[in-house]
Structure 1
C-alpha cells in the first residue's frame, strides 16, 4: 500500500468508524473486566472480548453490510449461550451476555452513526457501573407502593397519553382528551416530586417544608392534616400554620404550571396576580416557619403514596365537567357564566377551572383578559373551602394563625390583577 493510499485511508470515515468501535468495546470492556470475578465462576467476557466484539460488528458492517452484521451477531449469541450454559456461577445472570451482543450491534452502528453509537455506549456503561446503586435503591430505598406508583405513572405517560385523540370532541366541542390527560400526568408528576422532597428531607425540614411538598398533592388535605396535628400538639400550632400556608404556595406554583402547560398567553395574563399571591404566601409562611423553629416536639409526617390515582382521575372528570359547563354557560350567559362555573368548581379544586379557562383561551373561544376573573374566582372559592377545613380540623387557635394568611394571599392576587388598571387610570387622569 502506497503512502497516498494510507493517507486516504486515514482520512476516511471507515477508519473513524473502526476507531469509534474500538473505543466503544474498550469502554464497556473496562467496566466488565472489573466485575468478571475470579476462579471457576468468573465471567468469560472481559476487556479483550468486548473490544473484539465491537470491532467485529464494525468490520462486518463495512464488508458485508447489515446481512453480515446479522450473521456475526447471531454467531456471538450462540457463543454467548454456550458460555452461559457452562457457567459455574451460582447466579450467572445475563447482564454481561446481553451487553456483549449489544456491543456487537454498537460496533456496526458506529459505521453509520458514530456519535449515536458512542452516546449509547456511554449510557450502557453507566448502567452497568451503577449496578450496586440501582440494586440498593430498588431493594432498600424504593417502597412497594412507590414502585407501583412509578408503573402507574409510566403507563399514564407512555401508554394512555399517545392513544388519546388531540382534537375537540363532546358537547360544545369543549373537550380535548389529550390536553386533559396531559394535565393529569402533570399533576401526578408534581405530586411525585413533592413526595421525593419529603423522602429526602423528612422531619429535618420541619412541618414547613413537609407542608409545601404535600401541597403539591393536595393543599386542602394538607391543611386538614396540619390542623389535626395542631389540635393534637398545640405547641406545634405555629409550625403547622407555616406548613399549611406554604401548601397554598404550592397550589399557586402548581396553578402556574397548569396554566403554562395549557396556554402560555393565559399564563402571562395571570403572571402578576400569581406572583403577588405567591409572594404573600411565602412571606406569611416564612414568619411562622421562624416561629415554629423555636418550638419543640415531633414533626414526623406519614409520607403515604407518591400521588393519588383516584384523585388524578377525579381531576380529569372535574376538568371535563367544568369545560362542558363553562362552554354551556358561556354560550348562554357570556363571560358571567364562565365566572360562576369557575367559582363553583373552585370550591373543590383550583386547577380544574383554571385549566378550563386556559383551554378556552388556547382554542380562541375567549380572550386572555376574560380568563383572569374566572381563575381568581376559583382561587377565592377554594380559599373559602380551606378556611372551613382549617377551622374544623385545627380549631380556633390554628385557624386564627392560618386564616389571616389565606385572606392576604387572595387579596394579593386580586390586587395584582387590578393594580395595573388602577395605576393606568390614575396616571392618565
Structure 2
C-alpha cells in the first residue's frame, strides 16, 4: 500500500500594494504630504508677517503726516507793508512781505525778545513759508487789508516733530534742531492755548515744495491721472484689437507663433527698458517735452500693452466654441460673430486684465525717471504737455530729502498709493465676480 504524499503548501505571493514595504511607503507618502502642508502654512505665515511689518511701519511713520502743528498769531495786515506802492491792486502786492507780517506778530507776542539772534530763533517757531497762508487769505478777501486777524499758521518742521514725538526734547540741546530757548517760547504759547494739532489739508491740496509743511500730493495726483488717461487710451484699444486679431482671425503659422512668443517675452522685460525706449524715441527722435504726462502715458502704455493682450486673449479663449458656431450657423459673418457675441462675453475678463495692467502701471517709477518726470514741479499740470510728476516718482523724490518731515510724508504718500492700488484691484475683482459667466 503506497502512501499518498500530501501536497506542499506554498506561501501566497506578496503584492506590491500589500505587506510591510507597502505600509512603509504609505506612511512616508503621508508624512511628505504633512510636511508639504506645513511648508505651505509657514510660507503663508511668513508672507503675512512681512506684510504686517510693512503696514505697521508705514502706519507708524505715515499717519502723523496727516496732522500738522499750528500756532495762532494775531496778524496785522498792514497796508504799507503789503502794498508799498499804494496801488490797491492785489497783482502788485509785495508777496515777500507776507512773511514779515508773521514775524511782526511773533515779536508782539514776545516783546521782551529784542536781540537780533534771539529774534531769529523766535522766527523759527513757525514755518518759514507761513506767509503763504496769509497771502491765500488776502487773495480770497482783499478787504482784510488794514485789519488784525487771528490766524492758525503751521509751525516749523522742528517744532512739528517735537510735538509729534519724532524728536526727543529731553536730548541735549546740541542734538536737537530746536534750542531750549525756542522750546520755552513754544511752551508759553501752548499754555496760552495758541497751539493745536490740526488735520493737514495741505498734504492733499498742495504740490511739491522744499518745505515739508508746504508739500502735498495734489500736483502728483493730477499728473498721475493725466498719465493714466493717456496710458488707457493707448493700451486698451490697441491691446484688445491685437488680441482679437491673433485669437480670431490670424492664421496659425510661424509668423504668428513668433509674434506670440515676443508678446510673452515683452511682458517680462524690465520696465526700465521701456523708459530707455521712450527716451530714445519720444524725446530724442520726436522731440516731445520732457516730464510731460503725454510722454509718460505713451511709455506706460507700451509697458502694459503685453499684459492687456495676454489677458484679452485668455478671455477670448474662455468663450465656448458653441457661441461662435451658433452665430455662424445663423448666417453672421466672422466679424459680426466676434463683435456682437464673442467680444461682449469676453469683456469682463478683458476689463479685469486692463485694470490689473493699469494698477501695475500706476506704481512704476523707473521708466518715468528715464523720461525726466522727476522734475521739481510746484503746481498741478493743466494739460498733457505741462511738466508734471506722478505719485511713485514723488515718493522717490521725498525719500531722498534729508528733512525729518519728509520721512513721514513719504510713508503717508505710500499709504495713499497703496490705497489707490487696492481700490483698483478691488474693482477688478468686483468686475470679475459681477460679470463672470460659467459655461
TM-score for the superposition, normalised by structure 2 = 0.24
Structure 1 or 2, whichever has the larger Rg, is: 2
Bigger strand share:
2
Report the TM-score, using the length of structure 1 for normalisation: 0.25
